[in-house]
Each structure stands twice: as structure tokens, then as C-alpha cells.
Amino acid sequence: MPRQLEVMLGRRDLFAVKVAFLPDPDAGRAATPEHSASWGSLEIWVNGHNLCAHIEQGEPVDSVHWYLLPILQWLVSNWDFLLHEERLPTKNAGATAWISMRRTNEAAPTVSEDEAERWEMRWHQWWRRHCLVSCREGGLLPNLFIRRRLDGIEFSWGVHSLAGAPEHFRFDAFPGCGRLAPDEAAYVLFGVVDRAARHLRDEMPDSRVFAQLVQDVAALETSDQRRRLGLISGVRPDQNAPAEQWDRLMQMFPANLSPEAYEAVFKTCETKLVVHGACPAALLFGSLSPTIEEADVRLLAERLVQSFAPNGESEVLRRMVRDAPVGRTEERTWEQGYQLAEDLLEEIGDRYVDESSVDIDRLYQDLGITVQEASLSDQSIRAVAIAGPHYRPHVLLNRSYRYRDEEPRRFTLAHELCHILHDRSYGAHLAMASGPWAPLDVEKRANAFAAMLLMPDHLVETIVRGRPSPLDSVAGIGEIAKRLRTSFSSTLEHLCNRRFVDETIRDRLRTALETRANPLGDRRW
């Protein structure tokens, strides 16, 4: 009888994995000798939730039981993808991988058959690389996705139906998400697969399968870091070799970089197992559209280098920088954005309130943040923000963005200020393009921050009291928006969120705008 082994690494309140090797209940009749030797139990804990806990025939069970070999092989073969690939396969449609993959599992009915086939292929390839269920081989496993997210590892999960699952079986965990530092996640996962692989090899010394597994685990510590950086920078591995694409991207930077500038742009924090502090170049290009043109890459590379300046941030700005993890729910994310803006408004006082609006340009000037414009081919990119200890804080507005009037520009500047103050990797550097491929929860929080910064409650209350038109009318909202120098739509949403108008009035005014021309004759809607 094979020796039993139990391994548990990590902390249940953050992230932990427990495996135990047990006698095969079928005594090897339904599996290969290697599979039979790997029979055991599995527990995965994230933020205090045991994702493997389930109800079976009315009784609670803490572990799932199955052949562990396919799970170990999946973790090893997809190691770099799990810990370094963030970009979703078809569309960034949710705050977590689980939400986005559920919303994009089918192509839109309007696309051609060829496009739908490519959509489905990319979706399933990404699913196989990141979803634990993809390696189940008939077992009952939790619907867990693991992927990179900026400078962290995201674990997201939810309920699902498994083919072949008995009616009396269901997992306990509600949909959720947890995030962990990459080196902490790598330590737990590597420790488990390493000890498990060695145990299996010792149990069957003549097995080529187990010998290969041990070799593959050891090889994780010698993986090409260029490949990992390529994945972080958004390369689609089904289309390009990540290491080669990363080399090509580096070649688009000026060749005469000083050693200091080169280090600021490309320096990473890494271990043998994972890149846990990605360089600004990788983070910037990871937030861009997959179809961005080479000219855009060269332009942004030049701007990133031009922003390099030792001690480029002002002392005033440095004092305001505070790394704030994004809330786990959409409601919490929005509340966070409001609270961060209120904290800033309390700190700066009324110095930037000009008559009835907030002077965001003067605030930028006093903080030493440079604002420039450039034309990018991707019209969905609103702006690019660059900041850090070795950079002059910089916001690059995209001239090609579809809304370029004063109000959207002011909102964009306020939005980017949230990134500069609160969305830095490890509280140090920031290089992010605000657009549809940036993390949705980060973008939503920045939108809430911008709304509160430009429309603080005390200012809104003063304007509302002096309005000539009813607040439940298009004209009334338009007058407030004009005074605040904000767009009609953002003003309406903010007034509803702050309970100046109720949802019924908001929805009625939305409908009025959608069914008739802009009555004020301008473009601030």
C-alpha cells in the first residue's frame, strides 16, 4: 500500500492549498497506475473560504477527492500563464476573470461565422490555461480562475454546473474574488506541487510520468523571464511567442538610453518562480488594446522615456500618494472612489474651488503633473498616466478619443489623478492606459473619484439651492452641469448617487435625452 502524505501550505485567511494522498478506492481498476497512485483529497482556501467545501448527499464535506496527477500537471504546464497573463481572451467584460468569462462565453450574434469561431477558440484556449475545471478529467472541482492582475494574482470563482455531477452534489462557495502578492501565491503553489511530485516519484521510482513531473517542476525555476514579461505586457500566446514579442517591444525604445533610464523603464522585481514587480513598460502595454498599432507603441515608449527624471515628483504629490487596494464588490469600489476624493478635498480645502467649479488644471499645476496630448490610433483610450519615484508625473490625453470638449477633458484629468495617487504598483510606479482593457474595477473607482472631486457635496448643495429651473427637468440638470463644468450625463448620475434626485427622475431624464436632440444645442451630454 502506498505511503500516505498530507501537505498544506499558506494561510487559510489569505491563500492556502492542502493535498493528501490516499488509497485509491477503486484499487487502480479505473485508472492508469500513475493516476491511481495520485488519488487523494484537495482543499483550496482563499480569504477564509474553502472553495472545495461541498454538500454531498446532504452532508458537508471539506475536500474534493480525485486523481491529483492531472491537477499537478495542469499547474506546472500553465505556471507562467497563471502567474503572468492578465489579458482576457475576447473582451474585458467584468471586474474578475470569472465574471468576464461568464459574460463572454458566446460571441455576439451580429458577428460573422469566422469571427464567432475565432472568438470561441480564443475563449476556450484561455479557459484551458486559467480555469481549474479544465483539468478535471471527470472529477468534481471548483470553478476557480487564476490569473495575473497588474502586480497581483487574482483568484475568482463562482457557481457552475458540472457535467456528470450527481444531483446531491453542490459546492458551498458563493461567487467571490481574492488577490495575493505574486511571490506569496508562487510560494504556496510551488511548495505543494514540488512536495507532491517528489512523493509520487518516490512511490513509483520507475515511472517515467512521475520522473518527468519532477523535472518539469524543477524547470519552473529556470523559466525565461522575457517570456513572463511578454505575458504581462499583453501578448496573446496563441498568436505570438511572448519572449520574442517582448524583445521586439524593447527594440522600439530609444537605443541610447542611459543606464539609469533603462533601469527605471525595465527593472523588475522577481524570484526564480515569478515576476512579482513588473516594470513600467510591461504594465503600460498590458493595459492597451491587443490591436494597438506599432506607431502607438513607439510613441508611448518615447513618452515613457521622456518622463524619466530622478526625483521627478514634487514633495507635495509624494505626501498625497496612498496605495489603496480596490474593493471586492462593485458597490464598495464606487464608495471607495467617493471616499478617496473626499479625503483629498478635505486635504486641499477650498483653494481650488473657483466660483462654482473645481479648478482641476490648477491642482495639476501645483502638484507638478504635466498634461500633454498625442494622437493614438485606438480611439477608445482616454488617456495614459505615468508616475513614480523616477518619473515626472505625466498625463497624456488622446486626441483621438471621441469626446474632446472641456467637460470630458476635466473628467479625464480627475480620473487620471486617482490613478496617480492610488493605483501604483506596490505604491511605487504607475504606467496605465485608461480604456476598455484597463481593469474595470480600477476604472470604476477612478470614475467615482472624478465625479466626487469635480462635484463635491457642499458645492452641489450651493448650486442646487440657487437653481432657477426644477431639478427634475432636463433644463435643471443642464444648469447645474454648466455651473460645475461637467457633462450632463455624469452630473445626472452623480446627483442620483448622492440622492439629490431619485432613480425614477434619473431614468426619465435619460429617456428624454435618448429620444430627442440636445435642447441646449451644445455637445456636453
The tens digit of pLDDT for each residue in 88-126 reads 999 999 999 999 999 999 998 888 999 999 999 999 999
pLDDT of residue 525: 36
Q: For 474-494, what is the mean pLDDT?
A: 93
Q: Which of 326-335, 461-470, 484-493 comes out lowest in average pLDDT? A: 326-335
Task: Give the N- to C-terminal CA distance of the chain in Å, as an integer.
Answer: 73
Separation of alpha carbons 218 and 220, rounded Å: 5
- Per DSSP, helices labelled H in 148-277 are 182-203, 208-219, 225-232, 242-251, 259-266
Phi, psi for residue 48 in degrees, rounded to 5: 85, 0
- Read off the C-alpha cell for 162: 458540472
> Could you state, in order of their start, the residue ranges of all structural domains in the chain?
5-222, 225-454, 457-515
Separation of alpha carbons 145 and 157, rounded Å: 6
Contacting residues for 84 by C-beta, under 8 A, at least 6 apart = 148, 228, 229, 231, 232, 274, 275
pLDDT band at residue 510 under the 50/70/90 scheme: confident
Burial of 257 (0-12, 13-18, 19+ CB in 10 A): middle
Q: pTM of the predicted model, to two decimals?
A: 0.92
In the chain, the percentage of residues whose pLDDT exceeds 90 is: 75
Are 463 and 493 in contact by the 8 Å Cβ rule? The answer is: no
Q: What's the whole-number average pLDDT of the chain? A: 91
pLDDT band at residue 52 under the 50/70/90 scheme: very high
Tell me the C-alpha to C-alpha distance, in Å, between residue 167 and each of 54, 58, 59, 162, 164.
12, 11, 13, 10, 9
Nearest to 133 by CA among 111, 164, 109: 164
Nearest to 63 by CA among 50, 72, 75, 74: 50
